Structure 1
Amino acid sequence: MIPSRRSRRSLDWLNFFVADVQTGFGPFVAVYLTTQAWTEVQIGFALSLGTLTTMLSQVPAGMLVDAVRDKRRMALLALSAIALSAVLLAAFPSRLPVLASEVLHGFASCVLNPSIAAISLALVGREALGERLGRNARYASLGGAVAAGVMGLIGTYVSPASVFWLTAALTLPSLVSLMRIRAEDMHVVRPQKKAVDGRLLDLLKERGILVFAGCAMLFTLSNAAMLPLAGVAVTRAAGEEANLIIAACLVVPQLVVATISPWVGRLAQQRGRRIVLILGFSMLPLRGALLALVEEPYTLILIQALDGLSAATLNVMLPLLASDLTRRNNRFNLCMGLFGLAVGVGATISNSLAGLVSSLSSPAAAFALLGGIGLLCTLLAAFAMPETRLEHEQNDKH
């Protein structure tokens, strides 16, 4: 059964506004706390607490979303918690409220993302999930790009705290979009074939889950440090123009993701998952090599377009593969939590590793190492990842 246009469009806008909301908790937190006379050590501790909470919450949050039948209610509670965390930051920039905000936001985000993926699966089913996830990624990228620009302007010309008041306000259109998704358009996705147990240890015995978790960890281990490391070099070479270049390096990949994500979903649906993984992940070693060789600051913007190709791949394929690999037990959100944990581990290690290699050797050596890790990720996907698309799931309705 095809979901109504109202539900499909509401899910589009839900992804757009959720990206707006989440953008407020990016680099703006550090800027805001700096204006409140927080030291670098205090800011680092607060941000690290948020990161640690997110990592530790991935699996429990996935289990919680799996256990609750009404995924819209889980998304509603998560959005409400994120709004509260934004208000805490804006109204009470002292130690305990800020730390509470970071913890609350970390756990709520781990509930919100799988809830939206589960709503998408319930709306369109497994057969059309690839293209639906591509649309989700498109609207999320557009929302993130718009929010970054607007929040940067109001943070500069109104007040740093206004970023978080706006973040809290943006949960309202998110909630409206969520409530406009019709319950009658959502259907329970039942296990295929003979159902098996879906406990955590049983999922860890699945080859595909282990291989893709390894790919996800290697992906962020390779990817997370590339732009920050390049940003240091750009700042030294471009001086006052560095902020403009870095801003462009953030926006360009978002535009690429918005442009190609539906195509990525269709390709995965029609040609298979593994070929998409190989194409997307192969951008990592290419980007690492170019960053190691090219020193012209403005060329960095073009190189960062490759980040959009690889990011679109991960954004679409992570929930799609979680759906594929849990056909027999419906532990979709638990599987997403495992993959999210792998992503968090890779991102946590990446910056420290790249910084260490850069200081001991050179930035070029660090980029070469990151590119080598990306190559390992690509090879793992090419030679160890099983194809998870079933032949009858090909979607020819385009």
Structure 2
Amino acid sequence: MQPSRRSQRSLDWLNFFVADVQTGFGPFVAVYLTTQAWSEVQIGFALSLGTLTAMLSQVPAGMMVDAAHDKRRMALLALVAIALSAVLLAAFPSRLPVLTSEVLHGFASCILNPSIAAISLALVGREALGERLGRNARYASLGGAVAAGVMGLIGTYLSSASVFWLTAALTVPSLLALSRIRAEDMRVVRPQTAAREGRFRDLLADRGVLVFAACAMLFTLSNAAMLPLAGAAVTRVTGEEANLIIAACLVVPQLVVASISPWVGRLAQQRGRRLVLVLGFSMLPLRGALLALVEQPYALVLIQALDGFSAATLNVMLPLLAADLTRGTNRFNLCMGFFGLCVGIGATISNSLAGLVSEWSSPSMAFAMLGSVGLLCTLLAALAMPETRPVEPAR
């Protein structure tokens, strides 16, 4: 049974508005707290608390979503919690409410993302999941790009707090889109046998899970620090023009992700997962090499387009591989949580390691190091990752 057009389009808009909501909790938090006379140490502690909460919540949140019968209700609760965290930030910019907001947002995000992936799986089934995830990534990228521009404008011309009032308001269309996904269009995904329900340690015994987890960690270890490192170098050369260059570097990859994500999903369905992983991950060493060699500031925008190719790959393939590797079990979201934990670990290490190499040697050497990690990630996917595409489409 094919899901209705209404449910499919509602899921598209859910991804669009959820990306709008999540954009408000990016760099805007640091800007807002700075206007409230918070010190850099205090801001760093608050942001680190949110990051740590998100990392520690990945696996428990995945288990909660797996255990929930109604995935839409889990997404609803997560959106309400995110709205509450935005209101706390906007209305009470003091220590305890802000820290509570960061913890609440970190945990709610870990519930929301796997819930949307589970809704996608229930709507289209495993045989069409790749293309559906591509559509999710397209609308999320468009939503993130639009929200970044709008929030930047209202934060500049109204107030920094208005960003978070808008964030809370945007949960309303998100909830409306969620409510329009019809329950009768969603398939019940059950494990084939009780013996295959498994536990967390069973995931850790699966070669494919371990290899892709290592790839996810190496990917973000290579990728996360590239733009911040390049941004620091550009700022030293161009001064205030750096804001325009960095803004373009954020928007261009989003547009690339929106353009190619459905194609990435279709290619994974038609030609296999490993081919897509190798193609997407190979952008990392290429990008690292170009950033190490090219010194023209505006060339950074073109180089950052490569980030769109690799980001589209990870955005689509992470939930798709989680679905492949947990086929016949009820551990889809637990697997996604484990992969998300590995992504968080890689991102945490990346900036510190790149900063140390840049300080001890040079930015070019730091880019070379990050590119080498990306090459290792590509080789691991090519040589060790098993192909997980089903031999025959599910009937």
Question: Normalising by structure 1, what TM-score?
Answer: 0.98
Distance 2:301 2:293 in 1: 15
* Partner Cα separation in structure 1 for residue 64 and residue 39 of structure 2: 36
- Does the 8 Å contact 1:195/1:328 carry over to 2? no
> Match of 1:155?
155
Match of 2:348 in 1: 348
Q: CA deviation at 1:328?
A: 2.6
Is the 8 Å Cα contact of residues 197 and 331 (structure 2) preserved in structure 1?
Answer: no
How far apart, CA to CA, are the structure 2 residues paired with 1:193 and 1:210?
23
Q: CA deviation at 1:190?
A: 2.7
CA distance in 2, matches of 1:97, 1:194: 44
Residue of structure 2 in register with 1:278 after alignment: 278
Residue matched to 1:53 = 53
> Cα distance, 1:249 vs. partner?
0.1
Counterpart position of 1:113: 113
Equivalent residues in 2 for 1:29-178 (5 A)?
Answer: 29-178=29-178
Q: Deviations over 1:345-398 (max 9, x none)?
A: 000000000000000000000000000000000000000000000121399xxx
Find the residue that maps to 2:196 and give its secondary structure: coil
The aligned runs of 1:251-290 (5 Å cut-off) are 251-290=251-290
C-alpha separation between the residues in 2 aligned to 1:192 and 1:377? 33
Structure 1 contact 270–394 (Cα < 8 Å) conserved: no
Say if 2:332 is the partner of 1:317: no
Structure 1 consecutive aligned stretches of length 4 or more whose deviation exceeds 6 Å: none
CA contact (8 A) 1:194 1:328 kept: no
Q: Deviations over 1:80-101 (max 9, x none)?
A: 0000000000000000000000
Say if 1:20 and 1:167, in contact at 8 Å, map to a contact too: yes
Task: State whether residues 288 and 371 of structure 1, in contact with CA within 8 Å, keep that contact through their aligned partners in structure 2.
Answer: yes
Q: Which whole-Å deviations, capped at 9, do the CAs of 1:158-200 have from their partners, x for residues lacking one?
A: 0000000000000000000000000000011233578514200
State the secondary structure of the residue aligned to 2:377: helix
1:236 corresponds to which residue? 236
**1:239: how far off?**
1.2
Distance 1:119 1:185 in 2: 10
1:305 maps to which residue?
305
When the two structures are aligned, how many residues end up with a matched partner?
A: 395
Q: What corresponds to 1:9 in structure 2?
A: 9
1:185 corresponds in structure 2 to 185
Q: Which residue number corresponds to residue 217 of structure 2?
A: 217
Residues of 2 paired with 1:97 and 1:197: CA distance? 40
Cα distance between partner residues in 1 of 2:330 and 2:96: 39
Distance 1:315 1:357 in 2: 28
Q: Which runs of 5+ in 2 are unaligned?
A: none
Q: Distance in 1 between matches of 2:282 and 2:315?
A: 15
Q: Equivalents in 2 of 1:129, 1:4: separation in Å?
A: 15
Residue 385 of structure 1 corresponds to 385
Q: Distance in 2 between matches of 1:6 and 1:360?
A: 56
**2:205 corresponding residue in structure 1:** 205
TM-score by length of 2: 0.99
Distance 2:53 2:190 in 1: 31
Name the counterpart of 1:362. 362
- Asked if 2 retains the 8 angstrom alpha-carbon contact of 1:252 and 1:308, the reply is yes
Show structure 1 runs of 5+ residues with no match. Answer: none
Q: Tell me how large the CA RMSD over aligned residues is.
A: 1.0
CA distance in 2, matches of 1:12, 1:192: 29
- Taking the aligned partners of 1:117 and 1:311, their CA distance within structure 2 comes to 17
Give the Cα–Cα distance (whole angstroms) in 1 for the partners of residues 390 and 27 of structure 2. Answer: 41
Q: CA deviation at 1:64?
A: 0.3
